[in-house]
Structure 1
Amino acid sequence: MRLPLLALAAAAFGIGTTEFVIMGLLPDVAADLGVSAPAAGMLVSGYAIGVAVGAPILAILTNKWPRKTALVGLMGLFILGNALCALAPNYALLMAARVVTAFCHAAFFGIGAVVAAELVPREKRAQAVALMFTGLTVANVLGVPFGTAFGHALGWRSTFWAVTVIGVAAAAALVAWLPKAIPMQAGSILREFRSIGAAQVQLALLISTLASVSMFTVFTYIAYILRDVTGFTAQQESMVLLLFGAGITVGGLAGGKLADWKLMPALASLLAAVAVVQLVFSWTSHFPVPTLFTLFVWGMVSFAVVPATQVRVLDKAKGAPNLASTLNQGAFNLGNATGAWLGGLMISAGLPLTQLPWLGAAVAALALLAVGVSASLDRGGPVAA
């Protein structure tokens, strides 16, 4: 079943590249379209809101579709959205194109995670999900830094054309390698929505949201931090993002193994590490070499959380795997939008960029608290105040 997982990872690579590469190109986009840094940052929020809004809509529309048909169709929407981004003549139309692109995101990762988990034995589920999400992490290792460098050299629109080509190649891999008949759990979409209302499912979605808020409060504005605080040039920024992406790749794979071993203790430890690393980054961001080490570790612990939260949602929503997995992607991107918005508020208020990691660390602590509440409910004991 390696080729189907690789096809899912290839599509994840394209989706991850278009989601994250904009952050390295924000100064270029802002200058070209004549908007401020917080306004450019809203392109990140707009994409994330599109994911969050599109999650339930696409979950309903694709509920009865064969899974292979749904995944290939969603990649078609992805290709269209990126081509529109490359063609957008102004900020408003670029924002609209980003939202169109985002609509496929949650449903693809949601359905894809369920498919990945069903292609392997139960004890390998988190590792299979992590392998699919390796496409997302490789997007950060290769897609984001090289897409950023490509955009700096040839203009930011060229990056979106390149991602469009990646989308076409990924769609072809899905057609060629996914099994024709992928098992589907029969059931009513209304029953699935009722299952989502369970307290433990909602807590799992909250953990995903808060983990994402913590990361994107800072990462949305990483280009400005690297240039204005650390002192890297635009060309050096691409190589720094390459190192961050390497950390993400290591973390994503390690997170899958940790989640298959002991999910909740691993999740709690990782969120605590995220908080500590962000506090450290508020200081190391002033110095080039310590920044490199900190970004690698931050990428590693931040993305080690992803497979754990995905499997936690699947475990607690057995009656609604497709919807729960899709909504978890919406939750992650709601956190993405919220983090970008909160960071923009801090910048607009005149606070220094070095204070963004403090807010990120505080949100990671809230996510850790939510893990503690959920673990207490697992034990059947009282929830600690």
Structure 2
Amino acid sequence: MNAKVFILALSTVAVGLVELIVGGILPTIAADLDISISTAGQLISVFALIYAIAGPVLLVLTSKIERKKLYLISLFIFFIGNIVTYFSPNFAIMMIARIFTAASTALIVVLSLTIAAKIVAPTHRAKALGLIYMGISSSLVLGVPVGVLISDHFGWRVLFLGIAVLSIGSMVLISVFLERIPGEQTMPLSKQIKAIGSAKIGSAHLATMFMLAGHYTLYAYFTPFLENDLHLNPTWVSICYFVFGIAAVAGGAFGGTLSDWIGPRKSIVIVISAFAIVLGLLPLATSSLVVFIPVMMIWAALSWSLAPPQQSYLIQTDPATSDIQQSFNNSALQIGISLGSGIGGVVLNHTDTVTNTAYVGSFVVVISLLCAVFSLTRPAITRENNLVRTSNQRAEA
């Protein structure tokens, strides 16, 4: 595997930490800034909203800029955003900083995905994307417990100072080891939006969204699930989160390896089908921790196994708009996380039991499977994309 892919993956770890690390320290931030916890929670929701919107938009607006230069500029903006967060005297300043870090994070992640796909051979593309998603998943899953631990000992602000330092390390590695990658002549935005709205590609994005929505229908309320269904104390809850995180990180690599082995189309169907089954069986495994932990680890691994084959499938389906498709798929992931959390909340309000979130989540994943099958069975896209690629190649020649 190209060593540059590992550098890109490390960068996604650094920038990914800033998103959900706030979740574990909301009470501390609220007390320090003299705001309510619900107000502090807007730091998460606004970040997710900006992230989902900024990725595709910024990718189009910056399409002609040399990619290494753009990557370094994005990392610098990310660095400034975290420094401002560290020194923020009030909620308003911190929110402004979060907007800048969200936008830069979205662009850095999608650049990591698109660059990784271009610097490796097609036969290793899914594995490369899997490594990038290992970086993303590790920061999202492990960021909260690590953040709580550091915050308890050194205060919440030092977390963002540490993330800023990590971004400096990423800038050094990218500037030294990544070659210059020219920007590309892209299709007009209107045509790219049209591509996203096609039945084949649009349903693929919906598959990603509903997969993550089904996952977070339960995962957003995993702590009460562990406490109520398995009667675990805080120590064992922390252990379960740690084990879940390790399995989830491995899942990104597994998805990439599986896709390179049997192809993205079969991988997509297998991963989503298995995920729906395991999620539905999870409450039945709560009779014993010995049974539950292996099932939980399979659930965790599958939760991040879809992204690599899905991204590879989108690249194969419509190469002319592959960059923007990868960005929109990443946005679909973010929207799915938000949607799943909301669905889980509705289930809890109407049933008063966390167990039902697993069953509802499994049903939502079945919707994801239907969307995926619908996408896979649509005719191949042959419209004017080939003409666009041919004209671009002639212009470069």
TM-score using structure 2 length: 0.83
Which deviations, in whole Å up to 9, do the C-alpha atoms of 1:20-68 show, x marking residues without a partner? Answer: 43444456556776645x7766544332211111123312331111111
Q: Find the counterpart in structure 2 of residue 275 from structure 1.
A: 276
Secondary structure at the counterpart of residue 305 of structure 2: helix
1:102 equivalent to 2:102? Answer yes
1:180-329 mapped onto 2 (5 Å cutoff): 180=180, 182-190=181-189, 191-226=191-226, 230-232=230-232, 234=234, 236-260=236-260, 261-284=262-285, 288-329=289-330
For structure 1, which segment, 130-139 or 200-209, has the greater mean C-alpha deviation from structure 2 after superposition?
130-139
In the TM superposition, residue 304 of structure 1 has moved relative to its aligned partner by: 0.7
Q: Find the counterpart in structure 2 of residue 358 from structure 1.
A: 359
For structure 1, which segment, 143-152 or 111-120, has the greater mean C-alpha deviation from structure 2 after superposition?
143-152
Q: Find the counterpart in structure 1 of residue 335 from structure 2.
A: 334
For residues 26 and 281 of structure 1, the distance between their equivalents in structure 2, rounded to whole angstroms, comes to 29
Q: Which has the larger radius of gyration?
A: 2
> Residues 299 and 53 of structure 1: is their aligned pair in 2 closer, same or farther, counting only changes over 3 Å?
same
1:12 equivalent to 2:12? Answer yes
For residues 41 and 344 of structure 1, the distance between their equivalents in structure 2, rounded to whole angstroms, comes to 15
In the TM superposition, residue 290 of structure 1 has moved relative to its aligned partner by: 4.5
Asked if the contact 1:217–1:357 (Cα under 8 Å) also holds between the matched residues in 2, the reply is yes
For residues 231 and 156 of structure 1, the distance between their equivalents in structure 2, rounded to whole angstroms, comes to 30
> Residues 351 and 62 of structure 1: is their aligned pair in 2 closer, same or farther, counting only changes over 3 Å?
farther
1:52 equivalent to 2:52? Answer yes
In the TM superposition, residue 373 of structure 1 has moved relative to its aligned partner by: 0.9
For residues 40 and 348 of structure 1, the distance between their equivalents in structure 2, rounded to whole angstroms, comes to 23
Secondary structure at the counterpart of residue 377 of structure 2: helix
Which deviations, in whole Å up to 9, do the C-alpha atoms of 1:295-350 show, x marking residues without a partner? Answer: 32221011111111111222222111221221211111111222233334445567
Q: Find the counterpart in structure 2 of residue 383 from structure 1.
A: none
> Residues 237 and 61 of structure 1: is their aligned pair in 2 closer, same or farther, counting only changes over 3 Å?
farther
Secondary structure at the counterpart of residue 378 of structure 2: helix
> Residues 197 and 7 of structure 1: is their aligned pair in 2 closer, same or farther, counting only changes over 3 Å?
same
Q: Find the counterpart in structure 1 of residue 62 from structure 2.
A: 62
Q: CA RMSD in A?
A: 3.1
- Structure 2 unaligned residues grouped into runs of 5+: 382-397
Asked if the contact 2:200–2:376 (Cα under 8 Å) also holds between the matched residues in 1, the reply is no
For residues 226 and 161 of structure 1, the distance between their equivalents in structure 2, rounded to whole angstroms, comes to 33
> Residues 152 and 295 of structure 1: is their aligned pair in 2 closer, same or farther, counting only changes over 3 Å?
farther
Secondary structure at the counterpart of residue 46 of structure 1: helix
In the TM superposition, residue 152 of structure 1 has moved relative to its aligned partner by: 3.7
Aligned amino acid, residue 296 of structure 1:
M
For residues 161 and 350 of structure 1, the distance between their equivalents in structure 2, rounded to whole angstroms, comes to 42
For structure 1, which segment, 207-216 or 136-145, has the greater mean C-alpha deviation from structure 2 after superposition?
136-145
For residues 380 and 295 of structure 2, the distance between their equivalents in structure 1, rounded to whole angstroms, comes to 35
In the TM superposition, residue 134 of structure 1 has moved relative to its aligned partner by: 2.4
> Residues 290 and 93 of structure 1: is their aligned pair in 2 closer, same or farther, counting only changes over 3 Å?
farther
TM-score using structure 1 length: 0.85
For residues 326 and 105 of structure 1, the distance between their equivalents in structure 2, rounded to whole angstroms, comes to 12
Asked if the contact 2:64–2:182 (Cα under 8 Å) also holds between the matched residues in 1, the reply is no
For residues 165 and 130 of structure 2, the distance between their equivalents in structure 1, rounded to whole angstroms, comes to 24
Count of residue correspondences = 378
In the TM superposition, residue 217 of structure 1 has moved relative to its aligned partner by: 2.6
In the TM superposition, residue 78 of structure 1 has moved relative to its aligned partner by: 2.4
For residues 51 and 293 of structure 1, the distance between their equivalents in structure 2, rounded to whole angstroms, comes to 33
- Structure 1 unaligned residues grouped into runs of 5+: 381-385
For residues 284 and 39 of structure 1, the distance between their equivalents in structure 2, rounded to whole angstroms, comes to 37
Aligned amino acid, residue 307 of structure 1:
P
Which deviations, in whole Å up to 9, do the C-alpha atoms of 1:124-174 show, x marking residues without a partner? Answer: 111111122222234357544323322344344333332222222222211
